[in-house]
A and B are shown apart, each in its own frame.
Chain A
């Protein structure tokens, strides 16, 4: 990850126009990348579903057709129906909304807090940095899912809890990357110059350092978004995520996995495929962005 740091900042010292020039160049590179195009197309599909999904599906995701439970895929129900007669197609298409919204907000929260923390610890150093690093180490000793399960067990599952929980766990991870970038930047001449001009620490952090560490922040954001989708889906599957009856892939898989052995594969397969396509799409986009900023 830290390798992504070296490129933009070097050019950035000499002025604002160079930064935007590099950004434009990177964007051009990105559009040429097949990995990016494939990932972005799938992601765009799911974003559209998240926005208009509820309005375009032929059945509502809640409506129960109790005479036709566990029905196999047909023209009436494209992906079949589940154990209580709900339309699987509708649940898959509308299920993306809550996953995307929660994962996105959690990542934004983690990125904002993490960048602030990384700027502070990287620029100020000293005992604050040391103390926060120890705390971060302790948190990192636990896998994300385990921390989330413990915290959500304590606070009770809700969309807000899940969002805040993932965002807060992401904070130290993002802070660590930003801190590394800031430590490399702060030794450069333009920061020394700013300090000699008597600029305040806050001003230096926000107007001098921040624009120059945006590349790693952006990479970190997309990579984390993938993890956030991963985590939200996993927590829902475990029953520690988004509470029912909101259509939600992880939850639907957990509810119906027991009847797959009876031959009702459609109740699980489509939701699993949906999760797979979404996380893979986000990862492809993240990988492409990482490559472009790395060059």
Chain B
């Protein structure tokens, strides 16, 4: 087991290394000269060249990359061009905000999605199942900004019951903070709902058709007991671990939702960095997102293996 975990960890590190090279390389392709970006249009070419030299962006790309990675390994993310300040505080506060939003979204969506999926599976083929399935499928395809726009119009403007801005007034208590996060969290949760619901439904149907369920039914156990003890337990473990692999999509959604609801998270920070062509900041936010995703996937993988001993010895994909 320890060997397996070490192997997974090693693979994750290799992936991270490749990712850092891709990100750095793309960052180098951004148009515009860093010195020019900071100093503006009116600066003299000599001034721009001097600043480029000071920033070290006139050195060979390999030197710049090793320099960047060495500093990163020591926790130094460098300075942002557009904010003219060290990047790290921006990332930590943005990450904290995004985490809050993601948690609210998760807690609203996961239980509801699992229950809906299980109900759909138990009523498989009936109209309840079809309604839930089509509903989930529709949510799955809906871009977050579209559901966000609908939510803003319905709850924020027409009914006027929920705040449209995700950022609460300064010094707000936790309850008010969560209250402000409800609409953006629903917008993010929509896609997740569709996905998790389908996973739960498929898992439950598979468990329902299994031999052990048939045995339990033939043994004369009441349906409720069969469902609770045999079906759900086997169906939900994979579903719950698969949820963790959805963190990537969740973060993709954050970019749009944070922008729409004016919320200072890692998504809107990435967006601002891309708009301002501030590549040290962009590299840091994107790499942070990559790390968060890899860690989440790693945890999901390991839990899944721990819970499912049959997979531990599996060789190829």
Contacts and interface: CB of A to CB of B under 8 A. Distances in A.
Interface stretch (A78-86, A196-204, A210-218, A272-280): A272-280
B61 to A, nearest CB: 15
B5 interface: no
Contacts of B255: 143, 145-146, 149, 238
Contact of A238 (B157, B253, B256): B256
Interface in B217-256: 248-249, 251-253, 255-256
Given A230-B141, A280-B142, A283-B137, A146 B252 contact: yes
A183 to B, nearest CB: 7
B143 A237 contact: yes
A237 B289 contact: no
A144 interface: yes
B270 interface: yes
A243 interface: no
Contact of B141 (A149, A239, A283): A283
B131 interface: no
A138 interface: yes
Contact of A151 (B26, B142, B146, B251): B26
B316 A143 contact: no
A282 B141 contact: yes
Given A153-B274, A233-B143, A250-B145, A146 B286 contact: yes
B146 A275 contact: yes
Nearest to A257: B149
B251 A268 contact: no
B149 A272 contact: yes
A143 B252 contact: yes
B134 interface: yes
A21 B267 CA distance: 49
Contacts of B143: 230, 233-234, 237, 250, 275, 279
Given A151-B26, A283-B141, A141 B274 contact: no
A41 B231 CA distance: 38
Interface string B283-300: 000100110011001000
Nearest to B147: A276
Interface in A122-165: 134-135, 137-146, 149-151, 153-156
A214 to B, nearest CB: 21
A193 interface: no
B30 interface: yes
B9 interface: no
B84 interface: no
B293 A149 contact: no
Interface centre among B31, B145, B249, B255 (most CB of A within 10 A): B145
The contact size tier of chain A is: 35 or more
B153 A269 contact: yes
Given A35-B134, A145-B256, A153 B293 contact: no
B186 to A, nearest CB: 15
A272 B146 contact: yes
Contact of B274 (A139, A144, A149, A257): A149
A75 to B, nearest CB: 24
A177 to B, nearest CB: 11
Interface residues of B, number: 52
A276 B18 CA distance: 36
Interface in A173-215: 180, 183
Interface centre among B23, B142, B157, B277 (most CB of A within 10 A): B142
B304 interface: no
Interface in A244-275: 250, 253, 257, 260-261, 265, 268-269, 272, 275
A180 B316 CA distance: 10
A18 interface: no
Contacts of B145: 233-234, 237, 250, 253
Contacts of A284: 134, 137
Nearest to B283: A150
A5 to B, nearest CB: 13
Given A35-B134, A145-B256, A153-B277, A279 B293 contact: no
Contact of A287 (B137, B146, B150, B153): B137
B146 A142 contact: no
A239 B276 CA distance: 13
A142 B293 contact: yes
A240 interface: yes
Given A149-B255, A233-B146, A141 B141 contact: no
B115 interface: no
Given A149-B274, A150-B286, A142 B19 contact: yes
B152 interface: yes
Contact of A153 (B30, B142, B316): B30
A226 interface: yes
Interface in A68-124: none
Contact of B138 (A183, A253, A283): A283
A4 B140 CA distance: 20
B63 interface: no
Given A139-B22, A145-B255, A230-B141, 14 more contacts: A134-B11, A135-B18, A141-B19, A146-B251, A146-B255, A150-B274, A150-B282, A155-B29, A156-B31, A238-B256, A240-B274, A257-B260, A280-B141, A282-B141
8 contacts: A135-B18, A143-B255, A183-B316, A250-B143, A260-B153, A269-B149, A282-B141, A287-B137
